[in-house]
Structure 1
Amino acid sequence: MVYYFEKYPEDASKVVLSIKGAFTIQTGPDGSPEGIRASVEKALEILGGTKTIDIFECARVDPKVPVETSIEVLAELVKEGKIRGIGLSEVSANTIRRAHAVHPISAVEVELSLFTPDPLHNGVVDTCHEPYSPVGRGWLTGELRKLDDLPADDYRRMLPRFQPEVFDQNFKLVEAVENIAKRKGVTTAQVAIGWVVSQGAIPIPGSTRAERIIENARAAELTDEELVEIQRILDTLPIGGERYGGSHEKFLNA
């Protein structure tokens, strides 16, 4: 990213840069003032002045620190000009309201997809609209048809929804969405992203391939009948496995 802005400095003002931090896999979230400041300073050091941090968000809520305390220090960083806006990630509707009471929240990132429609039912989408992983961590690209399609070192092999005992069950949802995509002459991913858009949300699909990024920018337009069909699919094909599993699950919808 830094190399891109060094090469094309004229693009810096055209990009909204959102950075997640104050979290490590080893220790979990650190929402303390010291932890947040250290994380922001590290990000600024890496950017080296090539780009401003438009939005900074703690990757997870720290259960040891009141969210108000974390937002207060982020608000100070906004005043200092080190970040331009504050974001939240994987939070509950109540946490969003508590945080917003301290300082306006620019964005909230939650997972919303046909594989994880939870935010539609727990009040989060009613509070804000900013989901990520709209293609279910690659499930809805249509490229994963059997477990062996995942490289041996792919991190998703550790996630509950990609385990052998539930893989075939979860693939049934992919096949159902794929049938809709074939009828419309679009990709499975475009249908999945189109469904997220139809919920009034802003999808954030990820990819490392240019052609996939272009494809993902063209969400399918779904009719009312197709949305009803998709809802019927969701009602009849339950998803097996948690999103992350283990200790990381407790940091979701905090």
Structure 2
Amino acid sequence: MTRFNIVQKDPRTLAREISGIFNILFPQLTTGFVAHLNRQNLPLLAGTAIDKKLLSQSSINRAMLFEIAVARAELKITNPTSSWEECLQIAIDRQRRYYDAQLISSLTNHDQKIADIVSDNLVSVLSHISQKEGKEINISPSIPGFLWISNSKGDFAIGESLIEVKCSNKNFSSADYRQIILYWLLSYIGSIEKNNSEWKKCFLINPRLNTAVELNFDHLISFVSAGLPKTEIFSLFHTLVKRQYDYL
């Protein structure tokens, strides 16, 4: 098989599939530590969590509903006069990248209400971070690839802060933390190889529950790697990923 035939992996998907590599690189990213991080998952001052009863009356599946809500938030930032049809098309296009999207031609007023609440929660916290950091909101920031890991896009960024959105009814999972750590690692590699910026902070936001966790990457990486220097993390990651690349 030639290199041209190798199927590249999206880092968002990869973070859920390579837990073994993470166990080697970040041995302290345990269930207990994830629980500790989630105890910092605090309610946001503004906004409203989605009531379970309200959500149960939705006419479409949850994944699509919250994809629509995030798209709605983006359009409220970039083009407040945009239509629900534009919002719906963005959500469908995104769902098709990863799933067999449920095709929807229109939204009920009830679904629009839920999407508006979630999008307002998200826009509120993004605006707060933007004002605090003194930086503009960047939608879909670039995530550099590496070997067989493809280039990708994050959810949002503000300055050197990465912002990822999860609309779960639970706390953030180990896979969620692996994803942001992988995004940081790819940014660190990009800073070495291409002089790109390295992510310094991360916000995990759940606009469905109206909660968020703020993380400093230097502190997080130092702990979960058991104090391994960044250069050694990169070297070990390179070895592990290249071994898989050579195998392919």
Query: TM-score surpassing 0.5?
Result: no
Higher relative contact order (CA 8 A, sep 6+): 2
User: TM-score normalised to the size of structure 1?
Assistant: 0.28
User: TM-score normalised to the size of structure 2?
Assistant: 0.29
